[in-house]
């Protein structure tokens, strides 16, 4: 059994130093490696490139049907959550 270490992000949670299955050294709990790193807003140039690359994309009916079938029966993430009192439409 490997030793327990603290997560390098500073959250204070403990994790095993070596992965149990693949036996590689770890420093972070899964998903914690981006904590504390600042990712600023997109530059105008990058934003324009992304807009242009997605502009005018046409999704075929076949793809729409596949997406529709894949979402059937799934519970939405916001089911049962209450809207904020200021966001409600009167």
Q: What is the pLDDT of residues 60-70, one digit of tens each?
A: 999 999 999 99
Which residues have C-beta within 8 Å of that of residue 11, sequence separation ≥ 6? 29, 32, 35
pLDDT at residue 1 is higher than 70? no
Give the model confidence (pLDDT) of 32-65 as tens digits. 888 777 777 778 998 899 889 988 888 899 999 9
Candidates 9, 53, 8; CA nearest to 17 is: 8
Q: What is the pLDDT of residue 21?
A: 86
Q: What is the pTM of this model?
A: 0.41
Q: Does residue 84 or residue 67 have the better pLDDT?
A: 67
What is the predicted pLDDT for the residue at 19?
A: 87
């Amino acid at each position: 059994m490997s030793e327990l270490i603290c997560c390098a992000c500073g959250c204070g949670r403990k994790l095993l130093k070596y992965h149990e299955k693949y036996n590689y050294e770890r420093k972070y709990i899964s998903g914690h490696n981006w904590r504390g790193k600042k990712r600023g807003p997109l530059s105008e140039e990058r934003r324009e490139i992304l807009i242009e690359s997605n502009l005018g994309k046409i999704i075929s009916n076949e793809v729409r049907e596949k997406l529709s079938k894949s979402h059937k029966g799934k519970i939405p993430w916001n089911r049962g959550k209450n809207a904020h009192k200021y966001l409600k439409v009167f």
